[in-house]
A and B are shown apart, each in its own frame.
Chain A
Amino acid sequence: NAGVTQTPKFRVLKTGQSMTLLCAQDMNHEYMYWYRQDPGMGLRLIHYSVGEGTTAKGEVPDGYNVSRLKKQNFLLGLESAAPSQTSVYFCASSYSSGDSQPQHFGDGTRLSIL
C-alpha cells in the first residue's frame, strides 16, 4: 500500500522561481490537505480540498495555489518562491472531515528557498 505519496522529497529553489509539489493518494479519500511545518510551530493548513474539482483556503494560503483535477491528486504551486516559504510541506488525506477519521500523511517535501 503506497498510501500518500509526495514528490519531490527535497528541493532547493532560488527566490522568484516557481514549482509544483505533487501529492497522490490511493485510498479513495475525498479530503486532501496541504500543510507546512516549521520549527517550534504546529502544522499549519495552507489549502484543502473536499472533493475532486474543489479547493479552499486554510490558515496560511498566501503565495500558494492548489488544484484537484483528479480525486487522487492534489497539487500545490508556488508561483514566485520567497525565503519565508522555506519549510517542510506535508500532504494529507482523509475519508471525511468528521468523526474519528484520521488524516494520513505523506513523507513530506523539504523545500529551501535561497
Chain B
Amino acid sequence: GQNIDQPTEMTATEGAIVQINCTYQTSGFNGLFWYQQHAGEAPTFLSYNVLDGLEEKGRFSSFLSRSKGYSYLLLKELQMKDSASYLCAVQDSNYQLIWGAGTKLIIKP
C-alpha cells in the first residue's frame, strides 16, 4: 500500500527553528510537495522536491532523500503566523498526489 507518515502535532517557540519530517512508501515517485494549511482555509503550495538535496525559499527550506523515502520541511525564524498544518504529498507513478494527514504546528510566544 501507499503510506505517508508525518508527526500529528509539534510545538515551537517564536523566533526558533523547527523541522517537520515526512516519510513515504509509494508506488513510484515523481516528486514531493509541501503545503501549508491554516485552520479553516485552503492548502497553499510551499515547495516541491524531485531531486535529492535541499531547496531553500526564504525562511522555508525543504529536503529530500529518495533512497530513504524521507523529506523534511525546515522553518526558520518562526512567526506566530506560521501556526498552521503542514501537509506532505508525494506524486506517485501515475502522477496522483498521495497526501499525509498533516502536522499541526503550534507556535508559542
Name A residues whose Cβ lies closer than 8 Å to a Cβ of B.
Answer: 4, 40-45, 58, 90, 97-100, 102-108
In the complex, which of the residues A4, A45, A98, A108 contacts B30, with contact meaning CB atoms closer than 8 Å? A98
State whether A99 touches B31 (Cβ < 8 A): yes
User: In the assembled complex, which residues on chain B have CB atoms less than 8 Å from the CB atom of A98?
Assistant: 30, 91, 95
State whether A104 touches B97 (Cβ < 8 A): no
Q: Roughly how many angstroms separate A104 CA and B97 CA in the complex, as a whole number?
A: 13
Q: Roughly how many angstroms separate A108 CA and B44 CA in the complex, as a whole number?
A: 12
* B36-68 residues at the A interface, CB under 8 angstroms: 41-45, 48, 50
State whether B102 touches A105 (Cβ < 8 A): no
Q: Roughly how many angstroms separate A43 CA and B30 CA in the complex, as a whole number?
A: 18
State whether B48 touches A43 (Cβ < 8 A): no
State whether A42 touches B45 (Cβ < 8 A): no
Q: How large is the interface on B (under 10, 10 to 19, 20 to 34, 35 or more residues)?
A: 20 to 34
In the complex, which of the residues A42, A45, A102, A104 contacts B48, with contact meaning CB atoms closer than 8 Å? A102
In the complex, which of the residues A58, A102, A108 contacts B42, with contact meaning CB atoms closer than 8 Å? A108
State whether A41 touches B43 (Cβ < 8 A): no
Name B residues whose Cβ lies closer than 8 Å to a Cβ of A.
Answer: 4, 8, 30-31, 33, 41-45, 48, 50, 87, 89, 91, 95-102
B100 to chain A, nearest CB (A): 5
State whether A44 touches B42 (Cβ < 8 A): no
B87 to chain A, nearest CB (A): 7
Given A90-B42, A103-B45, is A42 in contact with B31 using a C-beta cutoff of 8 Å?
Answer: no
In the complex, which of the residues A42, A97, A99, A102 contacts B99, with contact meaning CB atoms closer than 8 Å? A42
A-B CB proximity, top 3 nearest: A42-B99, A102-B45, A105-B42
State whether B44 touches A105 (Cβ < 8 A): yes
Q: Roughly how many angstroms separate A105 CA and B89 CA in the complex, as a whole number?
A: 14
B55 to chain A, nearest CB (A): 10
